[in-house]
Structure 1
Amino acid sequence: GRPLPGCALEVRDPHGRALPERRVGRVFVRGPNVMAGYFGDAEATAAVLSDDGWLDTGDLGYMVDGALVVTGRHKDLIIVNGRNIWPQDIEWAVESLPGLRHGDVAALSVPGDDGEERVVVLTQCRSGDADVRDELTRQIKGAVRQAVGIECTPVLVPPRSLPKTSSGKLSRARARQLYLAGAFEGAERTRPGASASPEQVG
């Protein structure tokens, strides 16, 4: 939404520079309703509140015609070889593929066998045809490579299996927990609608 009267919003890149509209970055707010700090914790206050009153909300978002669209939390940020990659950039690229919809994709990072972070792209697939699924996997790799220049591990999961928050938004943190717990193991071979939903695992 739009900022309240007397409040200011900025969306910034990882270097603290203000971003133009429709570019995802970290959301900062300043105004009379911003907290003065954490009680008795000067260090935590300094980590999120600047001397000139700008609060780092921890949210990610972008501006459109003066209105803020929140897309997630900064803790969901993916870091690969020192590069900061917004999961939304990966998700939008994959969701643009034929047959996929908004909310079908969750991009996250997990520890790899070599100690480096590995990017996993959970994608809801509605087809049980092996050739279709193989082609979708190939397209996902290509879309991610073109969008952000990295390799990824696509994992096809059944429809409605990606967890949501109470407000209906994608929960990447919960999706990551489920993936690491093995909830999606064998999902590539699971027919659509089979038992791999968050409600049926863990």
Structure 2
Amino acid sequence: MEVNWPERFYCRSFVRKIAQWREVGFFRATHPIPPGAKVLEIGCGDGGGAAIFARRFAPSLYHGLDVDPAMVKVAAGRRKGPDWDKRLFVLGDAEKLPYADGAFDAVVNFGIIHHLPDWRRGLAEVARVLRPGGAFYFEEIYPPLYANPLFRVMLAHPREDRFHGPEFRAVMAREGLTLLPGYHESCLFILGVAIKTGRP
């Protein structure tokens, strides 16, 4: 599901980039991946998160995927830095990832799963494209943040079958994504790293 203009504005803002720097710092401190890893970001937006993540983790390949053609075009146009050729931005749906099983060492999610009408399928796809031992780096928000009386009229989100913490964590576990200790969670959001350990 494409975001609407208020959320697109926020996602491209300096405030959002500061938040992503902090989140990526948490990701790296929680579970570093070796240089040369293959990374997929779902919902890459304008490519700002890609630049931050790639700078801190030094992957050999970084694929950014987004369902919004305009955002993919913006991301692909951000050609800055000597390692930019290692990054590829593609149009695609996070519920139907166009990659083989076990194709990536890491998947990054800066708050995209809650945009998916079938968010369970999105998590299943994340698990599918991760290799065993691969890492899922994620930030997600819960309905009290985006479906409150103010933001409900401002932001475009699916309304049915939304998740809170227990549901989100249960589906990750069902898909073989084991949440590492040290994650941050409140009634509004979760920030964490999960490792693909196999279905229980």
Q: TM-score if structure 2 supplies the norm length?
A: 0.23
Between structures 1 and 2, the one with greater helix share: 2
TM-score for the superposition, normalised by structure 1: 0.23
Larger RCO: 1 or 2 (CA < 8 Å, sep 6+): 2
